[in-house]
Amino acid sequence: MFTEALPPVFRQWRARLAGLLLGLTAAAAQAQGWPVAGKPITIVSAYPAGGFSDVIARVLGERLTEKLKVTVVVENRPGGGGQIAASHVKQQPADGHTLWLGDVGPFATSRHLYNKLSYDMQNDFVGVARLTLTPVLLVVPADSPLRSFDALVQESRSGEQGLLYGSQGTGLGSHLFTELMQRQVGGRLVHVPYKGSVPALQDLATGRIQFMWDNAVTSAPFVRDGRLRALAVRATKRMAEFPDVPTLAELGHPQLNNSMLWGGLVARAGTPPAVVQRVADEFLAALRHPATLKRFADLHLEAAPLGPADFQRFLVAEDEKWGRAVRETQIRIE
C-alpha cells in the first residue's frame, strides 16, 4: 500500500538502492570466501629459488600461513622474460588463489622488448599490491682491478673486446639498465644472460664475467662475505651496511639513479574486485607485521605498500617509463 503511494522516481531510486546493497553484500560475501578452506594459495615467481621475488614471496607466505591457516606455496617458473610464469598464472582460475609476484622486468619492460610476447600485462592481469623497494648494487669480483665506477667506465672504453656483464635474463631489469648506462657513459659492454641473480653472481665471483647490477637482496651477501666488491648503488641514499659505496647521483649520474627495484603482486584478469581487495589487504597486513619489517630490513628490502588502484596506476607509469627507455636503447628480442 505504502509502496504504491510513492511517486515513480522514489520507487526507482529505492529499487536501485536495493540492487546496490545486494551487490555490495554479494561482493563482501565473495571476498569473505577468500581464501577457500583447504585450497592453497600459490605465489608464482619468474626467478629461481633465492632470487628477489622468491625471497619476498617466502617471507610473506610465512605470515599468511600463520594468520589465515592455509598452505602457501611458492612456485619458481623462471625463463622467457617472465613468459613461463605468466603463461602458468593465465591458465589458473581467476579466484585469487594463484598470484604472480614480480618486478619491473616482466611487469613493465618485457612487452616493449619482445617482438612476440605470450602475455599482455594490461589485459591478462590486474594489479593487486606493490610491496617493496630495494637498492641495486654495481658489483665486481673481489679481486677485480676495477676499484671505482669511473675506472669501470674507462676500462670499457679502452679495449676493443669490452667488458662482460651479467644479468638475471635477457630483457630483464639489469640487462636494460646496463644498456641505458652504456648509452649514457659510452664504452663497450657485452651482455651475458643468466636464469636469475644467483647463478650470475656465482659466475661473477669466480671471474667468468666482470660486473653486474643486481638487487641488494641477493648481491649484498656476496659483498658481505668478501666474494664481491660494490662500486656504486642505485638508491636515494647510501646503504647503512656499505656506507663507502656512493650513489650514482653522487658520481654525477643522477639521470641513472632513479631505478630502485620494486616488487609487486598481480592476479589473473577477471578476478572479482572484492577478492583482489581482500588479497591486497591480507598481503599488505603481512607486509606491515613487525616480524616482516625486521626480516625485510635485514635483507635490504623497504616496505613500499600500494593498494590495487594505486598499484595499477604505478604499473601504467612504469610501463610508459621503460617503454621510452627501450626505444632509446633500441633493444629488441626475437
Residues 6+ apart with CB under 8 A from 140: 146, 152, 204, 210, 211, 228, 229, 231
Give CA 46 to chain center in angstroms.
Answer: 10
Phi/psi for 120 (5° steps) reads: -130, 110
Secondary structure (3-state) at 282: helix
Number of H helices and number of E strands within the chain?
14, 11
Q: Which three cell numbers stand for residue 230?
A: 660494490
Q: Which three cell numbers stand for residue 236?
A: 636515494
CB 121 within 8 A of CB 82: no
Residues paired with residue 141 on neighbouring β-strands, in sequence order: 228
CA dist 322 and 215 (Å) reads 18
**Largest alpha-carbon pair distance within the chain?**
93
CA dist 214 and 39 (Å) reads 35
The pLDDT profile of the chain, 334 residues, written as one tens digit per residue, is 444 555 554 455 455 444 444 444 344 434 558 999 989 999 999 888 888 889 999 999 999 999 999 999 999 998 887 899 999 999 999 999 999 999 988 999 888 888 888 999 989 999 999 999 999 999 999 999 999 999 999 999 997 789 999 998 887 788 888 988 998 898 999 999 998 899 999 999 999 999 999 999 999 999 999 999 999 999 989 999 999 999 999 999 988 866 789 999 999 999 999 999 999 999 999 999 999 999 999 999 999 999 999 999 999 999 998 888 888 777 777 6
pTM of the predicted protein model: 0.82
CA dist 150 and 185 (Å) reads 10
